[in-house]
C-alpha cells in the first residue's frame, strides 16, 4: 500500500486506470508497448510500478531457423499475420481496453525495415482510432532500460548490450541520454554465434534443433574444453572499447572445414569435437567482453562518471541470456567493486514488455508523446552521443582480468 501511494503522488497527467493484481486494486498509468524490429512480434501492457499487466509474444525463430536465417519478406508477412492477435491478446490479459492506456509505445529503430514498418503502421492505425499519445522507441535503449522495471538501478549506470544485431557499451545517463563508449566495428556477437551454429549443423542434433545458435553453443560448450582451439583476441592493439567479431566467424569456419576433412564428415554429419569448438568460441567471445568492459569501467572511474556507491554494470540483449558470459562479467565486477546485474532471460530476448516499459519511463520523465503521423522508421540508428574517440584517446591499458582462474 505504501508503495502505491508514494508513487502516485507525482502523477500530474495521464489517465489513471484501476489495475488489479493479486486481488489488490490500485490506480496507475499504463502503457501498451509493441515490438516488431526483427523476428518477434511482441506486445505488453505495463503500469508505472513495473507490473506487467498482460503480454503476448509470437516468435518466428523456428521458421527462420529452418530457413537458414531471417528472411525480411517472410518476417514482414508473419508480423502482419500476428500483430493484431498479439496486441489484442496483451490487452485482454491485462483486462483493459485501448481507451484505458495512457500511451502507445512502439519500436521504430533500429531493425529490419520490413519488420519495423509493420509495427509502426499498425500503431498509427490504432492511434487514429483511440487518439492516444505515441512514444517512438529505440530498440537498444529499451534493452538497456528494462532492468529498471524489476530492480532499483539509478542513473547513471553502465550497460553492455549484446544481441543478434548489435554490441555496445554505453553510459545511461537518463531515459533518453546515452553516451556510447564502444561499439562493434563489424558484425554482432549473436549473429556470429547463429552463423557458427549453422555451419556446425547443430540443428541436426535433436536436442538442439529448436535452440537459437547462441543457446546451442552455450549448452554444447559445457562439455567442451575452452582451450582446445586457439583464437586470437581481436583488436588487442587498440585501447578502445570497440568490438570485432568477424574474425571469430571466419576462423571458426576455417577450423570446422579442417575438422570435417580430418574426420571425413560429409553432408549433414557433425564433427566429433563440436563441444570443444563451441567452448573455445564462447571462451574467446567472453574474453573480449571482459576486456572491453574492464576498460569501460576504468574509463568511468578515471572520469568520475558514476558516483562511487552506485557503480553498476547492466548486461542485456539476447546474448545476455548466456550464463557463462554473465558469470565472467560478474567476477570482473566483483573484483572492481562494481555491482553487476542482468534482466532475466525472458526480458533479455526481444519482447513487448521492454518497449512498454521504455514508454513508461518516458512518461515518468515528463516526455510527451509525439504526433505518430510525423514518425518514420530508421533501420540504423546511433545509440546516444558517440564518445568512442574520447575512450580511445584516454589510452587506457588493461591487464586482462583472468575470469577463468577466479
Contact footprint for Zn ion (CB under 5 A): 163, 350
At closest approach, how far in Å is the CB of 85 from ligand KG4? 21
Look at residue 194 and give the partner it binds from Zn ion, ligand KG4, none, a contact being a CB closer than 5 to 8 Å depending on partner kind: ligand KG4
**Angle 152-47-96 (CA atoms, 0-180°, nearest 5)?**
160
At closest approach, how far in Å is the CB of 210 from ligand KG4? 12
The separation between CA 298 and the C-alpha centre of its own chain, rounded to angstroms, equals 24
Q: Which ranges of 349-387 would DSSP assign to H, the alpha helix?
A: 352-364
Q: Is 287 helix (H, G, I), strand (E, B) or coil?
A: helix
Look at residue 190 and give the partner it binds from ligand KG4, Zn ion, none, a contact being a CB closer than 5 to 8 Å depending on partner kind: ligand KG4
Q: Is 181 helix (H, G, I), strand (E, B) or coil?
A: strand
Rounded CA-CA distance 134/114 in Å is: 20
Pairing of strands 40-47, 17-21: unpaired
Q: Which of 328, 342, 294, 318 is nearest to 153 (CA)?
A: 342
At closest approach, how far in Å is the CB of 316 from ligand KG4? 8
At closest approach, how far in Å is the CB of 246 from ligand KG4? 15
Q: Could you identify the residue written with the cell 483493459?
A: 96
Q: Which is nearer to ligand KG4, 82 or 191 (CB)?
A: 191
At closest approach, how far in Å is the CB of 142 from ligand KG4? 10
Q: Which is nearer to ligand KG4, 142 or 306 (CB)?
A: 142
Burial annotation 336-352 (CB, 10 A radius, 16+ → b, else e): bebebbbbeeebbbbbb
Neighbours of 398 (CB within 10 A): 15
Strands (E), 205-353: 312-316, 339-341
Footprint of ligand KG4 (CB under 6 A): 38, 163-165, 190-191, 193-194, 212-215, 218, 317-319, 321-322, 349-350
Pull the grid cell for residue 220: 554444447
Say if residues 132 and 45 touch (Cβ distance below 8 Å): no
Say if residues 159 and 313 touch (Cβ distance below 8 Å): yes
Q: Which is nearer to Zn ion, 30 or 115 (CB)?
A: 115
Q: Which is nearer to ligand KG4, 48 or 194 (CB)?
A: 194
At closest approach, how far in Å is the CB of 236 from Zn ion? 28
Look at residue 349 and give the partner it binds from Zn ion, ligand KG4, none, a contact being a CB closer than 5 to 8 Å depending on partner kind: ligand KG4
Rounded CA-CA distance 34/50 in Å is: 17
Q: Which is nearer to ligand KG4, 136 or 317 (CB)?
A: 317
At closest approach, how far in Å is the CB of 167 from ligand KG4? 10
Look at residue 182 and give the partner it binds from ligand KG4, Zn ion, none, a contact being a CB closer than 5 to 8 Å depending on partner kind: none
Pull the grid cell for residue 296: 569501460
Q: Which is nearer to Zn ion, 114 or 350 (CB)?
A: 350
Rounded CA-CA distance 340/225 in Å is: 27
Look at residue 384 and give the partner it binds from ligand KG4, Zn ion, none, a contact being a CB closer than 5 to 8 Å depending on partner kind: none
Q: Please tell me whether the peptide bond between 156 and the residue prior to it is cis, using omega within 30 degrees of 0.
A: yes
At closest approach, how far in Å is the CB of 69 from ligand KG4? 10
Q: Which is nearer to Zn ion, 259 or 350 (CB)?
A: 350
Look at residue 259 and give the partner it binds from Zn ion, ligand KG4, none, a contact being a CB closer than 5 to 8 Å depending on partner kind: none
Look at residue 322 and give the partner it binds from ligand KG4, Zn ion, none, a contact being a CB closer than 5 to 8 Å depending on partner kind: ligand KG4
Q: Which is nearer to Zn ion, 163 or 358 (CB)?
A: 163
At closest approach, how far in Å is the CB of 29 from ligand KG4? 27
Rounded CA-CA distance 60/75 in Å is: 7
Q: Which is nearer to ligand KG4, 146 or 391 (CB)?
A: 146
Look at residue 212 and give the partner it binds from ligand KG4, Zn ion, none, a contact being a CB closer than 5 to 8 Å depending on partner kind: ligand KG4
Look at residue 193 and give the partner it binds from Zn ion, ligand KG4, none, a contact being a CB closer than 5 to 8 Å depending on partner kind: ligand KG4
Amino acid at each position: 500500500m505504501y508503495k502505491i501511494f508514494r508513487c502516485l503522488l507525482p502523477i500530474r497527467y495521464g489517465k489513471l486506470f484501476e489495475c488489479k493484481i493479486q486481488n489488490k486494486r490500485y490506480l496507475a498509468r499504463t502503457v501498451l508497448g509493441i515490438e516488431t524490429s526483427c523476428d518477434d512480434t511482441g506486445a505488453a501492457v505495463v503500469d508505472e510500478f513495473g507490473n506487467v499487466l498482460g503480454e503476448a509474444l509470437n516468435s518466428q525463430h523456428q521458421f527462420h531457423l529452418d530457413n537458414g536465417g531471417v528472411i525480411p519478406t517472410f518476417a514482414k508477412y508473419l508480423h502482419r499475420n500476428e500483430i493484431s492477435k498479439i496486441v489484442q491478446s496483451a490487452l485482454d490479459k491485462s483486462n483493459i481496453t485501448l481507451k484505458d492506456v495512457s500511451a502507445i509505445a512502439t519500436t521504430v529503430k533500429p531493425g529490419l525495415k520490413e519488420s519495423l514498418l509493420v509495427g509502426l503502421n499498425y500503431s498509427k492505425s490504432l492511434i487514429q482510432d483511440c487518439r492516444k499519445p505515441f512514444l517512438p522507441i529505440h530498440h537498444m535503449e529499451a534493452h538497456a532500460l528494462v532492468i529498471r522495471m524489476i530492480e532499483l538501478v539509478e542513473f547513471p549506470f553502465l550497460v553492455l548490450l549484446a544481441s543478434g544485431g548489435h554490441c555496445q557499451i554505453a553510459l545511461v545517463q537518463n531515459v533518453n541520454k546515452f553516451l556510447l563508449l564502444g561499439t562493434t566495428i563489424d558484425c554482432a556477437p549473436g549473429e556470429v554465434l547463429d552463423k557458427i551454429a549453422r555451419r556446425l549443423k547443430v540443428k541436426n542434433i535433436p536436442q538442439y534443433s529448436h535452440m537459437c545458435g547462441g543457446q546451442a553453443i552455450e549448452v554444447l560448450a559445457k562439455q567442451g574444453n575452452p582451450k582446445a582451439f586457439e583464437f586470437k583476441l581481436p583488436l588487442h592493439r587498440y585501447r578502445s572499447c570497440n568490438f570485432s567479431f568477424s574474425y571469430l566467424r571466419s576462423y571458426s569456419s576455417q577450423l570446422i572445414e579442417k575438422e570435417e576433412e580430418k574426420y571425413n564428415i560429409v553432408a549433414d554429419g557433425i564433427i566429433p569435437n563440436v563441444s570443444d569448438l563451441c567452448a573455445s568460441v564462447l571462451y574467446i567471445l567472453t574474453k573480449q567482453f571482459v576486456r572491453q568492459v574492464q576498460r569501460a569501467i576504468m574509463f568511468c572511474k578515471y572520469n568520475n562518471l558514476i558516483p562511487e556507491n552506485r557503480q553498476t554494470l547492466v548486461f542485456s540483449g539476447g546474448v545476455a541470456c548466456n550464463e557463462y558470459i554473465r558469470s565472467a562479467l560478474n567476477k570482473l565486477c566483483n573484483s572492481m567493486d562494481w555491482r553487476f546485474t542482468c534482466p532475466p532471460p525472458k526480458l533479455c530476448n526481444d519482447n513487448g514488455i521492454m518497449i512498454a516499459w521504455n514508454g513508461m519511463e518516458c512518461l515518468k520523465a515528463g516526455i510527451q508523446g509525439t504526433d505518430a503521423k510525423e514518425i518514420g522508421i530508421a533501420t540504423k540508428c546511433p545509440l546516444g552521443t558517440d564518445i568512442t574517440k574520447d575512450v580511445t584517446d584516454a589510452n587506457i591499458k588493461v591487464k586482462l582480468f583472468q575470469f577463468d582462474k577466479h
